[in-house]
């Protein structure tokens, strides 16, 4: 008698995708929690505040406010902390302030009708004395 062959039928197995998705989300959440972000700021110098537990620091020098007015007005071209000055006097003041603290904040407020030459001369003087913390704003309606 001949042997009878059994045909085995193979049925495709069903994958439980719910378990795989759960594991993938678990791994993703672990990576997001465990990763430490790297600061990539295009090589810009940024000054961040010190941590709160760094201790007491010395008070910083007050901000220097420099206003630039157009040369044809009654005021001389530059006003530092409400005192009108010429460029040579401005340079002397910047030299004095830079000697104490070159990271001191300098706020340059430029009138809209002031010349670009005035602003560039002032920025050159700040660069000469290595003053790094500069802010430039324009005065509206002046």
**pLDDT number for residue 30:** 93
User: Structure tokens of 71?
Assistant: 């040369």
Q: Which of 131, 136, 82, 86 is nearest to 112 (CA)?
A: 136
pLDDT at 1: 59
Structural domains in the chain? 63-139 (3.30.420)
pLDDT at 8: 79
> Does residue 42 register a pLDDT over 70?
no
How far are the Cα atoms of 9, 10, 25 from residue 16, in angstroms, in the given order? 22, 18, 15
Q: What pLDDT is recorded for position 22? A: 94
pLDDT band at 57 (very low <50, low <70, confident <90, very high): low
What is the pLDDT, as a whole number, of residue 14? 80
- For tokens 């090589």, the residue is 43
Per-residue pLDDT averaged across 35-43, rounded? 63
Q: Sign of the CA dihedral 52, 57, 61, 62?
A: positive
Tell me how far apart the alpha carbons of residues 44 and 42 are, in angstroms, rounded to a whole number: 6
Mean pLDDT of the chain, nearest integer: 80
Residue owning tokens 């401005």: 90
CA-based nearest residue to 137, from 105, 110, 115, 104: 110
Predicted structure pTM score: 0.55
CA 118, CA 128: separation in Å to the nearest integer?
15
Residue 46 has a pLDDT of 59
Tell me how crowded residue 132 is: count the other CB atoms within 10 A of its CB: 14
**How confident is the model over 73-96, as pLDDT tens digits?**
666 678 888 888 888 888 888 888
Which residues, 6 or more positions from 119, have their beta carbon under 8 angstroms from its beta carbon? 68, 108, 110, 136
Q: Are the C-beta atoms of 75 and 69 separated by less than 8 Å?
A: yes
Determine the pLDDT at residue 55: 59
* Angle (CA) 127 64 48, round 5°: 75
**Which two tokens mark 23?**
């594991």
């Amino acid at each position: 008698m001949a042997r009878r062959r059994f045909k085995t039928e193979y049925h495709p197995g069903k994958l439980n995708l719910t378990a795989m998705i759960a594991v993938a989300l678990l791994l993703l959440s672990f990576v997001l929690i465990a990763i430490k972000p790297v600061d990539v700021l295009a090589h810009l110098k940024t000054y961040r505040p010190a941590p709160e537990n760094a201790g007491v620091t010395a008070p910083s020098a007050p901000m220097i406010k420099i206003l630039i007015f157009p040369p044809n007005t009654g005021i001389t071209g530059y006003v530092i902390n409400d005192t009108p000055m010429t460029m040579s006097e401005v340079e002397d003041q910047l030299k004095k302030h830079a000697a104490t603290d070159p990271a001191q904040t300098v706020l340059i407020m430029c009138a809209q009708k002031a010349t670009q030459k005035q602003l560039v001369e002032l920025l050159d003087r700040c660069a000469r004395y290595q003053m790094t913390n500069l802010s430039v704003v324009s005065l509206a309606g002046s």
